[in-house]
Amino acid sequence: MEAYQVKRYGKNEKLHLSEIAKPVINDNEVLVEIHAASVNQIDAKIKSGEFKMVMPFKFPFTIGYDVAGIVTQVGAKVSKFKIGDEVYASCMGAFTEFIAIKENALALKPKNISMEEAASIPLVGLTAWQVLVEKGNLKKRQKVFIQAGSGGVGTIAIQLAKHLGAYVATTTSATNIDLVKSLGADLIIDYKTQDFETILKDYDLVLNSQDTKTLEKAIKILKPDGKAISISGPPDVDYAKEAGLNWLLKNVMRLLSFKIKKLAKKLHVHYSFLFMKPSGKHLDEITALIDAGIIRPVVDKVFSFTKTNDAMSYIEAGRAKGKVVIKVK
């Protein structure tokens, strides 16, 4: 089968189309024939080598983190899925034709959306769920600031936060104001002409997806005991422990997050870093919200499998409105 692989780290490196063996599944895995995959910023970061300390891969390796497809084989210990099920998941190695996925990372695909739309959901949906529900414990009438409302994470996070009953402020550029409004954002700040720090105050939660300078400003809009959860760094020592990283990396992360932790302490607020964890259970919750029409996928562009490198370039430019999808089958 064909797969798009990284053969060498580099920002400008292209993915190589290689012939690789079809995966052999373990007892707790399912073989999925991939119909669509989606592209995330993490794919670009892995390709550039930014994550090589925490995610050491052996060259060549297949990238891609989101799939939707059909179950073609189930392991002996798999009980939740059967051949023919339409499923989706976040799982590394998605830019190919077949993938072995652990049963507990997989969920049934929402019935009312296409394979391309389903592939757009897992990584950003799980991230939004784990920030807002699991770690952020966002409640009705609380105020949340979701940066980059027009991006992959932002488009889903706004809809989820509104479903939870929160008041949502977001940043976007003028061209995407109508999009974030249609997703339910209450307060929209044009980040090119306005400074959110002078507009927002007493927030319960911040979902930070931008640079450290933005994070340092965003933490100041929180009310005492409020939480800033960053998905774009800096990583902290709790994340290093959770990821099972070694002593050296734990200390590197302690250092990287030292300044923001100190600022958070001074302001009597909380800072933490979150890295999405694949979870079939959380995806089931998201499936139910999509089936009920509460959350809708936002797909900017669909590329054919042969144009996977173009899809990567599009994501790397950082202007996607929602998600970028690759039609595999």
Ligand X SMILES: NC(=O)c1ccc[n+]([C@@H]2O[C@H](COP(=O)([O-])OP(=O)(O)OC[C@H]3O[C@@H](n4cnc5c(N)ncnc54)[C@H](OP(=O)(O)O)[C@@H]3O)[C@@H](O)[C@H]2O)c1
Q: Which stretches of the chain bind ligand X, using CB under 6 A?
A: 40-42, 45, 123-124, 127, 147-148, 150-154, 171-173, 175-176, 191, 209-210, 231-232, 274-276, 315, 318-321
Of the pair 25, 128, the CB lying nearest ligand X is at 128
Of the pair 115, 299, the CB lying nearest ligand X is at 299
Considering the complex, what minimum distance in angstroms separates the CB of residue 76 from ligand X?
Answer: 32
Considering the complex, what minimum distance in angstroms separates the CB of residue 289 from ligand X?
Answer: 18
Helix (H, G, I), strand (E, B) or coil at 230: strand
Considering the complex, what minimum distance in angstroms separates the CB of residue 260 from ligand X?
Answer: 15
Considering the complex, what minimum distance in angstroms separates the CB of residue 104 from ligand X?
Answer: 18
Considering the complex, what minimum distance in angstroms separates the CB of residue 147 from ligand X?
Answer: 5
Distance from C-alpha of 324 to C-alpha of 311, rounded to nearest angstrom:
7
Tally Cβ neighbours within 10 Å of residue 227: 22
Of the pair 98, 196, the CB lying nearest ligand X is at 196
**Which parts of the chain are beta strand (E)?**
2-6, 16-19, 29-39, 61-62, 66-74, 86-90, 98-102, 106-108, 143-146, 167-172, 187-190, 203-208, 222-230, 270-273, 299-304, 323-327
Q: Would strands 61-62 and 222-230 be described as parallel, antiparallel, or unpaired?
A: unpaired
Of the pair 215, 315, the CB lying nearest ligand X is at 315
Of the pair 224, 244, the CB lying nearest ligand X is at 244
- Exposed, middle or buried, 100 (CB in 10 Å: 0-12/13-18/19+)? middle
DSSP assigned state of 134: I
Considering the complex, what minimum distance in angstroms separates the CB of residue 152 from ligand X?
Answer: 3
- The DSSP element (H or E) to which 1 belongs, if any, is none
Tell me the residue nearest to ligand X as measured from the CB.
151
Of the pair 81, 196, the CB lying nearest ligand X is at 196
Cβ-contact 107, 287 below 8 angstroms = yes
